[in-house]
Structure 1
């Protein structure tokens, strides 16, 4: 048996990497770029992707990427992990992740995030072993990469790169989320101010049936507009975390949104975004992290999609 080595991605690897994703995920992977070798090459040429591959002889058997929105970004995501079924059990994904986290430091990144699937616990256990701390839950976030009819819920993990912190605002946290928030302040520190905001104060995108909103702050007028949105809409809000969090939590709970943790703000903003969701399917999840399991239990107790039956 030929030994398996890890090495940097080469331009000539694009077609083999695309084929690896087809072998692992079939036609179900959520990032369409992996099905077009020209886009794989383009993302590397523009330095948005920094990939490592696991090679056995001439065959690529594993892949993972550091994804950055731009070459100048201080934040990266450990993503696009795929390991061929014939080589599982060798901790290939973990080994690729370890080397990419070292590479993130060399690139000048200040933090790395990871999106962990909930279809199984392997990715969640790997993230913990790599030093990530779970910060939030994204219910029904993407179509399942495993061919399931139910969309995949995602656990967000964050790891600060050595020497940097991403502090949370100093405040007394509401009782309903105090254990998680005190845990995150213990890990990431406490600061006086939110991060710098970039772009419009209200940004909206639609992904499938879900409306994603990025909000700098809440005010009474915006809150009234959110209240008036169609009741059947599935809405995800990412709201800049500030010292007004307790008021924001109460206001959004009152109009049908449930809090599901935090995600790091991107594009060199620093700081955090508070996650709120309205509308998702009732389901059972067995999560590796007790904090995330509690968040999931809260969503199931409080809100569900009224006009969607489980599929």
Structure 2
């Protein structure tokens, strides 16, 4: 069966934004309410494609850019951290203009920090959706040993010459190991799909510096740094078994937001965008139905 054309990404729109030649992939019909979705660390637009397709099928137009230095987007002239990406996202919202100005900003994992930082800088939006938001520093989470190993891994990449460093960062075996570590589902088909997605995106970065700069930000910055700015309606979608962003930290985050709704999905971890795509899309659509003036 052929896929629904409304759910298939168009060829990317290439925009010059904050010094980056940015690729923006579009899902859904022209004229539908627009969601601008930001992927996480070591990802590309492919990571959010499953949920973008689901949301397109529910009446939204979803724009998913490759972050600068990721996928086919060129790097920024500055630093690839939460602040640098936030300035880029503000500029992207301005560049998109009508009829593509986003109604909702959505961020997954490190993308949630970028979205929150962009809101604090004045990014255009009416609502915010945070999937598996980084609401606590990694060393405050339960997998401290894994975080220590990850720090050592990127520390080694920092001191190696550029070519072997890139080979280390993009290594298939490392991508497989991280996939196995983060996937909660025991369904062999789901585990195989997630592994294939991580392999597809493992080497999709411009250079070592982009990855190392983003990693440094990912273990230093959280959504809480910008909680004061999240005054618009905000949906927080956490996961019962998320070790990187534990459910308790999501509850603490929501307690600091004046117009927040919390949904904790059972039986999944940090990969809601893969393992609970239908549930996540239903949650967004139930919170702010396409065409509604405000969340229900």
TM-score over 0.5 (shorter chain): no
As a proportion of its length, which structure holds more helix? 2
Structure with the higher strand share, 1 or 2 = 1
Q: Of the two structures, which has the highest relative contact order with CA contacts closer than 8 Å and spacing of 6 or more? A: 2
